[in-house]
């Protein structure tokens, strides 16, 4: 793909052949938030009974995950996806100053701006799973969350799984509350830190994710990573928003038991389903179909009499 950035079409090429024809092109929009020029992808114009907001994690962006989300039936849900600062085509006010707190705050404000009275479901992938849950709790405007992963940095097992070098993840919790200025703002490649080599069961998709300059190939400030580790993440016992975990069954990056352990402590558990044959980036059947089915059933359940 010399001379151009990977797009949603490049990611759609890794779907099963029969699914590729179902992927709909998104429309794009810009939204200003605290100096960040945020790009939003959309499908639908208000006719569907429910809205779905796609939330990416630390190795992807809105276009990378768009092919999955666009498989949700258009008569079930309108779709939106946000490129969070540092990722995708969002232009951050100051890349070196972006922190995890900004991601939560942006999503909460976007949800408030978009609220039109219809139920909203958050679809969170990878690191975007817990981000979706804590956004929902902060917002109070989210009807349910469907997530592929629940990685809580308070759990040393989750830190061990997330980091490219396991010991780095375990020791990350000992980072000081404030890093020295030059170190805090230093930008480092995300693929130095995260084990993006375990992103997918398909080597081609793994390579695309790891090298995409808007995804796994981005550079992030050291203090963004530190802010993620030290953020007061929502405890499962505090969650009130229904959460359904649809975890890839053959995830070689983040074992399902880590997410299952977290969710079983929550009174808001809405269900757990393992996505058969799917790796961390869930493009394999039959699990891909199960993921779409769970999202659609969640949406339809919110408008059933």
Going from the C-alpha of 195 to that of each of 164, 166, 222, the distances in angstroms are 4, 9, 16
Strand 187-189 with 243-248, pairing: unpaired
Q: List pLDDT tens digits, range 69-126.
A: 999 999 999 999 999 999 999 999 999 999 999 999 999 999 999 999 999 999 999 9
Low-confidence ranges of the chain (pLDDT < 70): 1-3, 163-185, 305
Task: Indicate the pTM of the whole model.
Answer: 0.93
pLDDT on residue 161: 78
pLDDT on residue 184: 60
Q: List pLDDT tens digits, range 205-222.
A: 999 999 999 999 999 998
Strand 36-43 with 50-55, pairing: unpaired
CB of 181 within 8 A of CB of 226?
Answer: no
Question: Distance between CA atoms of 171 and 298, rounded to whole angstroms?
Answer: 38
pLDDT on residue 187: 84
Domain ranges, ordered by start, for the chain = 8-296
Going from the C-alpha of 107 to that of each of 7, 56, 82, 231, 276, the distances in angstroms are 23, 11, 8, 16, 30
Give the total residue count for the chain. 305
Q: List pLDDT tens digits, range 98-109.
A: 999 999 999 999
CATH superfamily of 8-296: Alpha/Beta hydrolase fold, catalytic domain (3.40.50.1820)
The distance in angstroms from the start CA to the end CA of the chain is 49
């Amino acid at each position: 793909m010399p001379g151009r950035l990977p797009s949603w079409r490049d990611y759609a090429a890794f779907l099963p052949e029969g699914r590729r024809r179902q992927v709909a092109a998104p429309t794009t929009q810009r939204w200003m938030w605290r100096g960040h020029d945020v790009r939003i992808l959309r499908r639908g114009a208000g006719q569907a009974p429910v809205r779905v907001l796609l939330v990416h994690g630390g190795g992807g962006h809105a276009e990378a995950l768009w092919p999955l989300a666009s498989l949700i039936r258009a008569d079930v849900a309108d779709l939106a996806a946000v490129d969070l600062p540092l990722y995708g085509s969002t232009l951050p006010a100051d890349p070196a100053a972006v922190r995890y707190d900004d991601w939560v705050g942006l999503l909460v404000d976007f949800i408030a701006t978009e609220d039109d009275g219809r139920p909203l479901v958050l679809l969170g992938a990878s690191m975007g799973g817990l981000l979706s849950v804590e956004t929902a709790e902060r917002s109070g405007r989210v009807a349910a969350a469907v997530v592929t992963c629940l990685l809580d940095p308070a759990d040393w097992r989750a830190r061990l799984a997330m980091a490219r070098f396991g010991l780095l993840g375990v020791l990350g919790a000992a980072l000081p509350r404030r890093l020295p200025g030059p170190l805090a703002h230093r930008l480092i490649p995300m693929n130095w830190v995260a084990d993006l080599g375990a992103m997918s069961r398909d080597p081609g998709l793994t390579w695309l994710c790891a090298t995409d300059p808007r995804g796994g190939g981005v550079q992030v400030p050291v203090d963004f990573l530190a802010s993620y580790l030290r953020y007061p993440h929502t405890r499962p016992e505090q969650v009130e928003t229904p959460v359904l975990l649809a975890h890839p069954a053959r995830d070689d990056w983040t074992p399902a038991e880590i997410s299952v352990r977290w969710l079983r402590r929550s009174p808001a558990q809405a269900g757990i389903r393992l996505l058969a044959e799917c790796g961390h980036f869930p493009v394999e059947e039959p699990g891909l179909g199960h993921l779409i089915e769970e999202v659609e059933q969640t949406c339809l359940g919110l408008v059933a009499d």
